[in-house]
Structure 1
């Protein structure tokens, strides 16, 4: 009998894994069977029956949820949104999207005003820390709030559920991998962070890296600055690897290095995107969609009057090793 990961109940994730399909296919086969071909539908149903799946917990109907995130700055938030849409696909849930400015590029990154409008039953904020004033305006009887990708390092919001992916752990995974391949000093390339009022994902990744390898911080606001930083890093013979704060930045570094001809520098990114896979760049895969599903589940529970027992949910990333992290070249001074 399948072991459940959720209070003794078989989950939709277990059914999807056993049937060899996505969770959205399982949801459609059960809730909208006319949208799935007969063979797939029968496979899903047979698997669900065999495992003892009883369906998802009740999702309240008629809810309107606001989702705010820096979507246009970091496309990875769309993947989290996909998870939210998947989870709420079988319920009457209206998702209202708000695009926020980049947190790293803001001198005052904290969000003082939540997107509260008439008829909003809950708010999910991703990638933007909240001020104390923001939570005061959202306190009861206002709509409940769930945070995603916002480490509450200051302890300002102990009553707000938080869904996180362990960025410190992700940095450790890259650091250990590079150290095992003989690297001892790495350049960590990231965008400038204008404010120190919050703990960013990049700061946590760098901290994780530093537990296994020496880290040289390199800020790059644009492609020109990136080229300068790479020149500076590569001028140091002890730097044998580069780690980018996210895959988009890793792809830009890959292009710059390719223009300069053959090299022995190792390169790693972060996010586990299709771009990193296409370019053969080692990266840390993050369960973005799962974090979105978890956040939607929490906010719908809160919106229906259920008290969440979970203060924070921390998901685990996974290292995807590819050809870009070549072993460090041996040196006569080693």
Structure 2
């Protein structure tokens, strides 16, 4: 987490978490849902909050309306992030207005040109959609504050907007190191077509992380109809012994395709997101703290909406690898 020194009087949840040596979600639970935190931790957090003079957000945030925009219908993982936001919002009396966005991967111009600003909106959270320079300039004018989620700022065009990320490069490294330890040397990375190179996607970062440990061969899938032929072509390379899918929904489809192919050797399979589907199918996957990222984004936007200029540049959460039966050793 990157945080600049505060020049204001009010103590934030981030300062309480740092002083108590716990996560911001633990501070929130200790205050709002104490039965979910062990007694020793709860008392330590409360004592720290009292010592620092932390007042919480409930009174200031109550009644506010936050717009949340994301490609919900394309990537179900954003619903899980939204669950974290809803859970936190329910504790402070905040209403959420949801906007569905098109997938950035399938767009020639993936940036969001205009923010979903409406009367009565006190803050905007944008997930999975880079902002154009015009949208950023609009956001810098007097109006609702903005927080980005899952939007790495590779171009630096919106440095003043806080962003909540999950470390995709680290997730890729976890996969690459795991597969490398099993003897895999060349891996096919299955992903949707990214029509624009104007932004750095999560998949690009994951591939970069994997490439530090194994050779990564791209397997681009333009649509569902092309999936079977693309997978068959990828595994026809005798040096490819593992397939990594950019997300678990895609991994489930790859799993189905592999089960129909007359494979001459075992093919390991790894997904990404840590979803229920990967657990049911026994697919190794990278679990991401989606709900925590949603809660963190909601805290940030409410701080800003309440006039708390947190000077938080970015908050990066860490994924973890969940190993299951699908990641078999190289033959």
After TM superposition, the structure 1 = structure 2 runs for residues 1-334 of structure 1, keeping only pairs within 5 Å, are: 6-9=17-20, 13-14=25-26, 23=29, 29=33, 50-53=43-46, 57-59=56-58, 60-260=61-261, 263-329=265-331
Q: Report the equivalent of 1:34.
A: none
Query: What is the distance in 1 between the residues matched to 2:211 and 2:124?
Result: 35
Task: Tell me the CA shift for residue 136 of structure 1.
Answer: 1.7
After superposition, give the CA deviation of every residue in 1:126-167 in whole Å (9 maximum; x if it has no partner): 000000100122223111100000001000011000000010
After superposition, give the CA deviation of every residue in 1:66-112 in whole Å (9 maximum; x if it has no partner): 00000000010011111111112121211000000011011111001
Query: What is the distance in 1 between the residues matched to 2:172 and 2:39?
Result: 41
TM (norm. structure 2) is 0.87
Gap change, CA 1:231 and 1:52, over 3 Å in 2: closer
Which consecutive unaligned segments of at least 5 residues does structure 1 have?
17-22, 31-40, 330-334
After superposition, give the CA deviation of every residue in 1:40-86 in whole Å (9 maximum; x if it has no partner): x5x86956654453678223222110000000000100111111111
Gap change, CA 1:312 and 1:28, over 3 Å in 2: closer
Is the CA contact (8 Å cut-off) linking 1:129 and 1:198 kept in structure 2?
yes
Number of equivalences: 307
Gap change, CA 1:205 and 1:11, over 3 Å in 2: closer
After superposition, give the CA deviation of every residue in 1:24-55 in whole Å (9 maximum; x if it has no partner): xx77756xxxxxxxxxx5x8695665445367
Higher relative contact order (CA 8 A, sep 6+): 2
Q: Report the equivalent of 1:36.
A: none
Is the CA contact (8 Å cut-off) linking 1:15 and 1:51 kept in structure 2?
no
TM (norm. structure 1) is 0.86
Q: Report the equivalent of 1:33.
A: none
Task: Tell me the CA shift for residue 194 of structure 1.
Answer: 0.8
Query: What is the distance in 2 between the residues matched to 1:208 and 1:44?
Result: 34
Query: What is the distance in 2 between the residues matched to 1:204 and 1:49?
Result: 37
Query: What is the distance in 1 between the residues matched to 2:198 and 2:274?
Result: 28
Query: What is the distance in 1 between the residues matched to 2:126 and 2:79?
Result: 13
